[in-house]
Amino acid sequence: MTHVPDTPLLDTVKIPADLRELQVSQLRQLADELRAETISAVSVTGGHLGAGLGVVELTTAIHYVFNTPDDRLIWDVGHQCYPHKILTGRRDRIRTLRTGGGLSGFTKRTESEYDPFGAAHSSTSISAALGFAVANKMAGKPGKAIAVIGDGAMSAGMAYEAMNNAQAAGNRLVVILNDNDMSIAPPVGGLSAYLSRLVSSSEYLGLRSLASKLAKRLSRRIHNAAAKAEEYARGMAMGGTLFEELGFYYVGPIDGHNLEQLIPVLENVRDNAEGPVLVHVVTQKGKGYAPAEAADDKYHGVVKFDVITGKQDKGPGGGPPAYQNVFGETLAKLADSDPTICAITAAMPSGTGVDKFALAHPDRSFDVGIAEQHGVTFAAGLAAQGMRPFCAIYSTFLQRAYDQVVHDVAIQNLPVRFAIDRAGLVGADGSTHAGAFDLAYLATLPNMVVMSPSDEAELVHMTYTAACHDSGPIAFRYPRGNGTGVALPAVPERLDIGKGRIVREGKKVAILSLGTRLAEALKAADTLDAKGLSTTVADLRFVKPLDENLIRHLIATHDVIITVEEASIGGLGAHVLTLASDLGLMDTGLKIRTMRLPDIFQEHDNPQKQYDEAGLNAPQIVETVLKALRHNSAGVEEAGVRA
């Protein structure tokens, strides 16, 4: 039964303009109701909870102080945007989060005017906010840009690249550093709050300006010394020296859950001419919900749960293991006997299975933070020095390091192993996290080997094969979620590079599968056989290099060739077509059809429905075969007679 909280004050707020009609004294109650509503909504839908709970007061304060949507509010990543969605006209749909046709789990421009910039990848907010701020400045329009970025996202170089360029925006840019890593945050208390309010005030800035003018009349040496003295005094008290060096006026740290501190500081920042400004706010992930506060991950990502107990509905246990865990555990076992194996991840140890490896081999596990570019080049350096690095990164995040894959790994032919998680469609996370493009962007590269397992047993073999492959870079891609339930091999097998396998023999139709569509290909073969169309199913294993001999054989002995892959155009189908064209194999009228993800960014939904929409399940494979046979023929039955 859904727990619906009592929210009399929140019920009066449909959009931020309504919020700004309230008294400051009412905001504490409003924030409490907003937190309760967020917990209730996510208990129904699942999703990202801890991050949103940590910014309830901050969300309330920003929308109260700034004139959104004219002032542009940009949330970095977007994990924390659910309270924002509730306050910006979407409360009536908040229980559709991450479901088909419902609200996105991230910010999305097409969803609301209060989402000026879509995000789901990290560390883009300051760059985007700078663009909004400078555009307004050039056009002579009012309006500030506020970027809210977490301390984790600040591990990415892009954030500092943006800050280094931010002086162009002047006081139109406000960066709020949401620091929820309490272990590194400076003490937050009365003195800190007082200093933050003081240094953001117009009185202080006025005195500062006057002192600066007076100092300029003195010698340059005295003027510079005075400026440095003030900078370091504030830096020592509040930790802002780095940001001052990057051109920001630093304010903080302040308690991000104390509205009596937040509101006046943000008002000062809004009204004063000093800028750009960085406001350092300290928050607690999972704040205000005891089960989240007690959990190690602060309920970062949850499935449906009971609000009263916090117990998550994880379904029946004992099912097949997740692909990521099969990879992590296999790699850990291989590393027991190979001291050169090491693992690198970019802030996703549990998401990639590297946490399993790290437990067994902590000295050979490296979480580089949200820094995929650095992670890939770091791996290249390790490989050049004789190590066997495995770079475990989601497909969609590896896109951020493409130049490093090309320039630092492939051109130098260094044996970096890429374990690419979240290949294909990913369900509720939608287009921003779907691994659609890795086959296209990796299989074009000289020196690169690219493979994809059809099940978790094959993933064990491919992990071992990658460990053994010292002659150049190698990549293997696998999906989100659980395996098929096949038995895992006790001893992994080293696969022959570029060799596929026949898993079902037939005569008329050949389905060439790459990855975990193999199960759907076998279902399709059952249906086709029942229609009198004898069907071969091949698990190609490799898209680069292709198994030329196997493909030649199948083309020579079958009337129709179907390729099936969980990737965009430019992958397996494109490479098979190119091979067939180069070798003249289509000159005799062979029918080849390629099945791949459609040329759209698919919306979030149940994965089965996503693959139905993509046309990559068994019924669509069957229909593709039948359409190919009907072309230049009187009918399927007639075609089947030749089988």
Instruction: With respect to residue 486, please indicate whether it lies within any of the assigned structural domains.
Output: no
Tens digits of residue pLDDT in 58-70: 999 999 999 999 9
pLDDT over 70 (residue 104): yes
SS (H, E, C) 567-632: CCCCCHHHHHHHHHHHCCCCCCCCEEEEECCCCCCCCCCCHHHHHHHHCCCHHHHHHHHHHHHHCC
Which of 557-561, 585-589, 629-633 is modeled with the greatest confidence? Answer: 557-561
Both 465 and 558 in one domain: the answer is no
Both 559 and 437 in one domain: the answer is no
Q: Check whether 152 is labelled as a binding-site residue.
A: yes
Tens digits of residue pLDDT in 487-496: 999 999 999 9
Instruction: With respect to residue 635, please indicate whether it lies within any of the assigned structural domains.
Output: no
Where do the H-state alpha helices sit in 66-186?
82-85, 125-139, 157-164
Confidence label for 221 from pLDDT (cuts 50, 70 and 90): low
Please name the amino acid found at residue 262. Answer: L
Active-site residue, 95 included: no
CATH number for the domain that contains residue 552: 3.40.50.920
Interstrand relation of 365-367 and 388-394 (parallel, antiparallel or unpaired):
unpaired
Q: Check whether 530 is labelled as a binding-site residue.
A: no
Q: Check whether 151 is labelled as a binding-site residue.
A: yes
Instruction: With respect to residue 642, please indicate whether it lies within any of the assigned structural domains.
Output: no
Final residue belonging to a domain, choices 477, 493, 509 = 477
N- to C-terminal Cα distance for the chain?
56
What pLDDT, on a 0 to 100 scale, did the predictor assign at position 274? 77
The two structure tokens encoding residue 56: 């309830």
Both 464 and 564 in one domain: the answer is no
Q: Check whether 153 is labelled as a binding-site residue.
A: yes
DSSP state at residue 86: I
Confidence label for 201 from pLDDT (cuts 50, 70 and 90): low
Residues 6+ apart with CB under 8 A from 333: none
Instruction: With respect to residue 382, please indicate whether it lies within any of the assigned structural domains.
Output: yes
Confidence label for 180 from pLDDT (cuts 50, 70 and 90): confident
**Which among 285, 298, 364, 544 is annotated as catalytic?**
285
Instruction: With respect to residue 91, please indicate whether it lies within any of the assigned structural domains.
Output: yes
Nearest to 137 by CA among 174, 172, 167, 175: 172
Tens digits of residue pLDDT in 484-528: 999 999 999 999 999 999 999 999 999 999 999 999 999 999 999
**Spatial separation of the C-alpha atoms in residues 384 and 387, rounded to whole Å:** 7
Instruction: With respect to residue 310, please indicate whether it lies within any of the assigned structural domains.
Output: no
Q: Which residues form the domain of 537?
A: 501-629
What pLDDT, on a 0 to 100 scale, did the predictor assign at position 154? 85
Q: Check whether 436 is labelled as a binding-site residue.
A: no
What pLDDT, on a 0 to 100 scale, did the predictor assign at position 228? 54
Task: Give me the number of domains the chain comprises.
Answer: 3
**Spatial separation of the C-alpha atoms in residues 601 and 338, rounded to whole Å:** 41
Both 75 and 155 in one domain: the answer is yes
Q: Check whether 121 is labelled as a binding-site residue.
A: yes
Q: Give Cα 539 to chain centroid, integer Å.
A: 29
CATH number for the domain that contains residue 75: 3.40.50.970
Radius of gyration of the chain (CA): 28
List the Cα angle 101/435/326 in 5-degree steps: 110
Both 439 and 506 in one domain: the answer is no
Both 17 and 158 in one domain: the answer is yes
Both 122 and 160 in one domain: the answer is yes
* 286 torsion bin: left (phi>0), alpha (psi -120 to 50), beta (else): left
**Which among 33, 37, 57, 372 is annotated as catalytic?**
372
**Spatial separation of the C-alpha atoms in residues 572 and 581, rounded to whole Å:** 14
Residues 6+ apart with CB under 8 A from 600: none
Which of 116-125, 142-151, 288-297, 412-421 is modeled with the greatest confidence? Answer: 412-421
Instruction: With respect to residue 483, please indicate whether it lies within any of the assigned structural domains.
Output: no
Both 383 and 506 in one domain: the answer is no
Active-site residue, 293 included: no
Active-site residue, 372 included: yes
**Spatial separation of the C-alpha atoms in residues 494 and 410, rounded to whole Å:** 22
Q: Check whether 111 is labelled as a binding-site residue.
A: no
Instruction: With respect to residue 304, please indicate whether it lies within any of the assigned structural domains.
Output: no
Q: Return mean pLDDT, the chain.
A: 89
Q: Which residues of 524-563 are buried (b: 16+ CB within 10 A; e: fewer)?
A: bbebbbebebbbbbbbbbbbbebbeebbeebbeebbbbbb
The full length of the chain comes to: 643
**Which among 90, 270, 400, 596 is annotated as catalytic?**
400
Confidence label for 588 from pLDDT (cuts 50, 70 and 90): confident
Which region among 134-148, 287-301, 415-429, 449-463 has the lowest average model confidence (pLDDT)? 287-301
Both 227 and 356 in one domain: the answer is no
Q: Check whether 604 is labelled as a binding-site residue.
A: no
pLDDT over 50 (residue 186): no
Mean pLDDT of 74-99: 94
Both 470 and 506 in one domain: the answer is no
Cβ pair 512, 459 in contact under 8 A: no
Q: Check whether 180 is labelled as a binding-site residue.
A: yes
